[in-house]
Amino acid sequence: MSAPILIRVTHRYAHPPERVFDAWLDPATVARFMFSTETGALVRCEIDPRVGGRFVMTDRRPDGDVEHVGHYLEIDRPHRLVFTFGIPAVSPDEDRITLEFRAIDGGCEVTLTDEMDPAWREYEDSSRKAWAKMLASLETMLA
């Protein structure tokens, strides 16, 4: 089996790690920054924020709804959040997403690592851009 593709994106926030961490587990907040684009919107967001808990998010796009699912593997507030992330309509594969929160002067720095199956290599760049956009959208939403 080939090693996964590692996609890393880092973003700095002018907010404490606790506030940024909590945003990832609150359905109302997640609905405002995940998949928030000019042409799409998150129309369903169900989160069971506990280790073993699952989430379901439905992203409404011009060409139809896309369901994203996963479950939480690790919740270490406010330092680390690990979950799986997949799109069942496209593939049974799930990526492993790790968010690491580090306090810095004036706020925090978040590093997101997406461990992607090598079979999806052609989506590496678009995935990196999508995660960067979501992290930036979270900053705007928290302001």
Domain count, the chain: 1
For the domain that residue 17 is a member of, what is the CATH number?
Answer: 3.30.530.20
- Give the range of the structural domain holding residue 121, as residue numbers without chain letter: 5-142
* Mean pLDDT, residues 17-46: 89
Residue 22 is given by DSSP the state: H
pLDDT tens for residues 79-118? 999 999 999 999 999 999 999 999 999 999 999 999 999 9
Does the pLDDT value for residue 37 go beyond 80? no
DSSP string for residues in 35-100: T--SS-EEEEEEE--STT-EEEEEEEETTEEEEEEEEEEEEETTTEEEEEEE-TTT-S-EEEEEEE
pTM for the model: 0.94
